[in-house]
Structure 1
Amino acid sequence: MSVWVGIDLGTQSVRAMAVTGDGEVLGTAARPLTSHRDGDRHEQDPRQWWDQLAAACAEALDGVDPGRIAGVAVDATSGTILLTAPGGEPLTPALMYDDRRAAGELDRVNDVGAQVWARLGYQRMQANWALPKLLWLLRSASSGLAPVRGDVRPASRSGGRAARPTGVRLAHQSDYVNRRLAGEPVATDLSNALKTGVDLIAEEWPGAVMDALGVPGEVLPPVVRPGARLGSVCARAAAETGLPEGTPILAGTTDGCAAQLGAGATRVGSWNSVLGTTLVLKGVTRDLIHDPLGVVYSHRAPDGSWLPGGASSTGTGVLSTALPGRDLTALSHQATARETIGQAVIYPLVSPGERFPFAAPGARSFTLGEPADDVETYMAILRGAAYVERLCFDYLDLLGAPVDGEIILTGGATRSAYGNQLRADVLGRPVTLRENAEPALGMAALAASADLARTKEVVDPRPRDAEPYLRFVAELRARGWLDERVARHATERTRA
């Protein structure tokens, strides 16, 4: 049986996984990554990506028959970019997915690209997206690039094209390591290029927009769909990674889409709900979803369908601050025994401002009712997270997205049996738990063009009073954060 290699290039680590065509994991390994943060600045040294990827891959493949390895794919953090020289060497540090130093470029990006961004359904770019960062880096290149380990400072803000080093090229995080794997220039995938402004409908760069922004065509790599063949592993990369020379390299995707593929949420109407520090929903639709609020945006799937999703600022990350040092497993067991006691709800914002299912920069955490002790505080936080999750599905339904398929729960919160049952009850739907839903597994699945997910458990819902959820929705509306139309739809859908 063939073996497929998936590589997850994250923020804090890189993980490699070797998986058979029926989902058996033959080997896995991880290596740490370090970042440099300072205010709006968040950088990594791209050369570290390769060094740690090669080490993790070699360990994961130790003992695997090289003759069985049929392909490799890499995912990466969305919106992380750098500039490279003609030979692929990094000219700048990597500006990570949450680096916001390019905020000054945002208005021009949204003004020039307004029609394209609206047609693609997300309306506006955000300060941490890749296209503003690309403009910022190109301005820096015009006045001379800093060394990789140094700071990158913006040059003059005058418009138009300025002279810059010949052969400078944009590289997303995965592009940089894929070039090292292939030993030659490679295309980028539509998924990682989304936040750089690629036209996902035409499946090409919007030339008029890029020209108006002063981005030369030669800076931009060709684009292909996730799963397309980029090249094959070169001899030098083979010696460093343990991948056989000639192994096909398949175009990957972002880490969020990779997690969705790992979870097996690949059919129209199915959704992967990832609840950990924060909540992220990703699903599958036949048609592109247009969101007037701009809180839902869609990636393109390998088969041409769409992968809409959104990321909330709420999640179980508040447990560590609200209940420091407490045994969460013990609290889950105690909550199960006491779940009919207390109806307090905590809106669990991890950081100020909400991003999904509504946009409210002024949103702040709040509590409805009074938790009597740590167990009730734990219950109130999970209850609030479940209500936000339900509201996300209500909003997606309002936008016309199909939400009647399988709901797959992944993320750290699935370690709580109490939380899993609560979420099934609040959604009023069965929820599926997987044995493994890591992004690296998703990349192996993408390389194999197969669903490698294995089901661990299906949790069926129990009857539950819907009024506490509706009071929560009403409170969000009363605070001016939730649109009246959304609140009304959530109410009508719940009572139907």
Structure 2
Amino acid sequence: MTDARHQDVWMGVDLGTQSVRAVAVTGGGQVLGSGSAPLTGRRDGDRHEQLPADWWSGTAAAVRASLRTVPATRVRGLAVCSTSGTVLLTDAKGAPLSPALMYDDSRAKDEARQAQEAGAGVWASLGHRIQPSWALAKLLWLTRHARDDGAPALHGARVCHQADFITSRLVGRPVATDSSHALKTGYDLYNRAWPTAVHDLLGLSGLAFPDVVAPGTPLGTVSHEAAEATGLAGSTPVFAGMTDGCAAQLGSGAWDIGQWNTVLGTTLVLKGVTEEPLHDPAGVLYSHRSPDGHWLPGGASSVGAGVLTRAFPGADLGHLDRLAAHREPAGAVAYPLVSRGERFPFLAPDAEAFVLGTPADDADHHAALLQGVALIERLCLAYVRLLGAEVDGPLTFTGGATRSTYWNQLRADVLGRTARIPRQADSALGMAVLAAHGGAAGEGSVRAPLSDLRPMVRFRTVVEPRPQVSRRFAEPFVTLVDALEERGWLPQETAAYAREHG
């Protein structure tokens, strides 16, 4: 193996919900440095906002921490991912003109319906539909409420995704967005164009939509000011990134057709690899474009680990895990939404969390929440199989929840599938992979295939399902599917298929 001291180093930055994370990784997959910084936001009912200035200060702190053991001059490039659908408006120089509406801010329900109707033909051809969590609906909400609040006119304001704000600060000027972050803003991946006719109908034509480039495209180099803030060397290349779900896909090593990765952090994201885009009549699944030309269909659910800290603030979750291991299955069946409204594997803006039955104690409640997330993960896989996708390749688990050894085993049991756990379970690693992919191309040359970068992803362990435990969750799965269908949230066809094949 090549000595790590002589390998190029690539950096990935992940803007999450609760923190910014940065890693410095060699081409051989050795993590030489990492850092993180907390993020906070404002939540109030359907509202969820964060301050872009906090994103930048957090990024600077996380990157500086990752460089404590790595000379900045060894970093050959970096890429940034962020939460999908998070958006704000800036002036021509990149200064914020609006709040930053987070991915799960659900105030744009009416605007989502209007955007869906205005571009119904376009969205049908792309195989998805506009949801309240999508950036296009949020832009419509922002422009309307700016007028209602008597704010300065937003004509000419620049559309800016969360990652765009950071890459612009790194380069020192507004830069192009990537096609992955642009997807939920309505970008047409097939024709590689913004749907300007739809913008006209919605009254958004006065906004400045950024140029769009493929993930891994060079955006510029780190400016002198950004170098001082982050500790990066000036002129370090900055490459266009992807959304956090796609970043986790790259970081998982699930790059071949039929392979799927689930990211379990605050919420749950499922993504796989197909040769062609996967068409979903319900529009809750959408396909990103992989840097190597394949398609990455997937969706983001609103269930996830975020429910644990809300249900048990300050608790020792490891201790609760040990107790939950004796509650398989729990005495209750939970649908553990982090916030109101579901996005995948079905669309239900008014969906709310529920628990069927009464947990016996905190351990039983904790077990029900862990199991509920795994049961929805199982429903997600059943849905993509219903749409015709290959799902028989190896599964990988990434995201902060993989720190729980017990939850990893439970998920493998509920899914009845073998799962691989990467050593570095972080979307930031995926951005380091993407930076290396972008940096592998010299001017005018063809990029190397992703397979050439496989040494960058190392696996920590492989989790095998326990058949005797897997069988115990057949009944809770059907119970949850039935409850979702009875509430009118889960379509009848999906429910029937899940009961028979899930």
TM bucket normalised to smaller: 0.7 to 0.9
**1:270 Cα offset (Å):** 1.6
1:135-175: CA deviation from partner (whole Å, max 9, x where unpaired): 3444567x6xxxxxxxx93679xxxxxx755x532222222
- When residues 41 and 154 of structure 1 are mapped into structure 2, their CA distance, relative to the original with a 3 A threshold, is farther
Kept in 2: contact 1:139–1:154 (CA 8 A): no
Kept in 1: contact 2:85–2:134 (CA 8 A): yes
Amino acid at match of 1:403: V
Pick which of 318-327 and 61-70 moved more: 318-327
For 1:419, which of 400, 407, 415 is the aligned residue? 407
The answer as to 2:477 corresponding to 1:455 is: no
**1:208 Cα offset (Å):** 2.1
Kept in 2: contact 1:314–1:348 (CA 8 A): yes
- When residues 412 and 233 of structure 1 are mapped into structure 2, their CA distance, relative to the original with a 3 A threshold, is closer
Q: 1:294-305 maps to which residues of 2 (within 5 A)?
A: 294-305=283-294
Kept in 2: contact 1:363–1:481 (CA 8 A): no
Counterparts of 2:154 and 2:302, CA distance in 1: 39
Local SS of the residue matching 1:400 = coil
The answer as to 2:28 corresponding to 1:32 is: no
- When residues 171 and 318 of structure 1 are mapped into structure 2, their CA distance, relative to the original with a 3 A threshold, is closer
Amino acid at match of 1:35: G
Pick which of 248-257 and 132-141 moved more: 132-141
Counterparts of 1:351 and 1:88, CA distance in 2: 30
Q: 1:273-284 maps to which residues of 2 (within 5 A)?
A: 273-284=262-273
- When residues 2 and 219 of structure 1 are mapped into structure 2, their CA distance, relative to the original with a 3 A threshold, is same
Kept in 1: contact 2:154–2:207 (CA 8 A): no
Pick which of 14-23 and 355-364 moved more: 355-364
The TM-score, its normalising length taken from structure 2, stands at 0.84
The TM-score, its normalising length taken from structure 1, stands at 0.85
Local SS of the residue matching 2:258 = coil
Residue matched to 1:133: 138
- When residues 225 and 386 of structure 1 are mapped into structure 2, their CA distance, relative to the original with a 3 A threshold, is same
Kept in 1: contact 2:170–2:221 (CA 8 A): yes
Kept in 2: contact 1:137–1:154 (CA 8 A): no
Q: 1:98-247 maps to which residues of 2 (within 5 A)?
A: 98-123=104-129, 125-138=130-143, 153=149, 167-216=156-205, 219-247=208-236
- When residues 104 and 295 of structure 1 are mapped into structure 2, their CA distance, relative to the original with a 3 A threshold, is closer
1:1-29: CA deviation from partner (whole Å, max 9, x where unpaired): 11111112233332222111112122222
**1:366 Cα offset (Å):** 3.1
Residue matched to 2:276: 287
- When residues 284 and 243 of structure 1 are mapped into structure 2, their CA distance, relative to the original with a 3 A threshold, is same
Local SS of the residue matching 1:219 = coil
Q: Which has the larger radius of gyration?
A: 1
The answer as to 2:424 corresponding to 1:436 is: yes
Residue matched to 1:482: 490
Local SS of the residue matching 1:436 = coil
Residue matched to 1:160: none
Kept in 1: contact 2:176–2:210 (CA 8 A): yes
- When residues 285 and 33 of structure 1 are mapped into structure 2, their CA distance, relative to the original with a 3 A threshold, is same
Counterparts of 1:270 and 1:323, CA distance in 2: 34
Residue matched to 2:25: 19
Counterparts of 2:290 and 2:394, CA distance in 1: 18
For 2:387, which of 392, 399, 402 is the aligned residue? 399
Counterparts of 1:95 and 1:23, CA distance in 2: 35
- When residues 342 and 219 of structure 1 are mapped into structure 2, their CA distance, relative to the original with a 3 A threshold, is closer
Pick which of 475-484 and 404-413 moved more: 475-484
Residue matched to 1:146: none
Structure 2 stretches of 5 or more lacking a match? 1-6, 438-452
For 1:385, which of 353, 362, 373 is the aligned residue? 373
Amino acid at match of 2:113: D
Kept in 1: contact 2:331–2:360 (CA 8 A): no
Residue matched to 1:159: none
Local SS of the residue matching 2:225 = helix
Counterparts of 1:183 and 1:382, CA distance in 2: 43
Residue matched to 1:332: 321
Kept in 2: contact 1:437–1:453 (CA 8 A): no
**1:345 Cα offset (Å):** 3.5
Local SS of the residue matching 2:373 = helix
- When residues 318 and 218 of structure 1 are mapped into structure 2, their CA distance, relative to the original with a 3 A threshold, is closer
- When residues 154 and 193 of structure 1 are mapped into structure 2, their CA distance, relative to the original with a 3 A threshold, is farther
- When residues 136 and 324 of structure 1 are mapped into structure 2, their CA distance, relative to the original with a 3 A threshold, is closer
Local SS of the residue matching 1:199 = coil
Count of equivalent residues:
475
For 1:250, which of 239, 256, 268 is the aligned residue? 239
Pick which of 52-61 and 113-122 moved more: 52-61
1:196-224: CA deviation from partner (whole Å, max 9, x where unpaired): 11001112212322233333387111101
- When residues 319 and 52 of structure 1 are mapped into structure 2, their CA distance, relative to the original with a 3 A threshold, is closer
1:94-125: CA deviation from partner (whole Å, max 9, x where unpaired): 333333454443333122211111122112x1
- When residues 418 and 76 of structure 1 are mapped into structure 2, their CA distance, relative to the original with a 3 A threshold, is closer
- When residues 383 and 103 of structure 1 are mapped into structure 2, their CA distance, relative to the original with a 3 A threshold, is closer
Q: 1:343-358 maps to which residues of 2 (within 5 A)?
A: 345-358=333-346
**1:355 Cα offset (Å):** 3.3
Amino acid at match of 1:431: A
